[in-house]
Amino acid sequence: MAMKTTYTGVYITIGVEQPYGKVLDSKDLYATARDLVAQIERHCDGVDYSEINFQTERVCEFCGSNWTEGNNEVYNGGCCAGDEKTVLENVG
């Protein structure tokens, strides 16, 4: 018997990224994604379900630098004055 590969589902990915020169918070990005899903479901026949997935990135809450300190949730290696202040307040 020869093996045969068949499709069991087809998935279409539509991305919502930060607009150029503008930073949206997670709530705004989720609202935009929900609006797009509603439009797709309203205008496209044959959509069985929709799902919103997120891609995340860990950054410093003060300056936005990439998080470099692994699982340390308080200190990002002194990337900015806010980071330094936070580590002093939390660690001593």
Phi, psi of 59 (to 5 degrees): -135, 165
C-alpha of 63 from chain center: 18
pLDDT single digits (tens) 4-38: 888 888 888 888 777 777 777 888 888 888 999 99
Cα separation of 22 and 28, whole Å?
12
Write the pLDDT tens digit of every residue in 45-61: 988 888 888 888 888 88
Give the C-alpha separation, 14 to 45, whole Å: 17
DSSP secondary structure of 35-54: HHHHHHHHH-TT--------
pTM (2 d.p.): 0.54
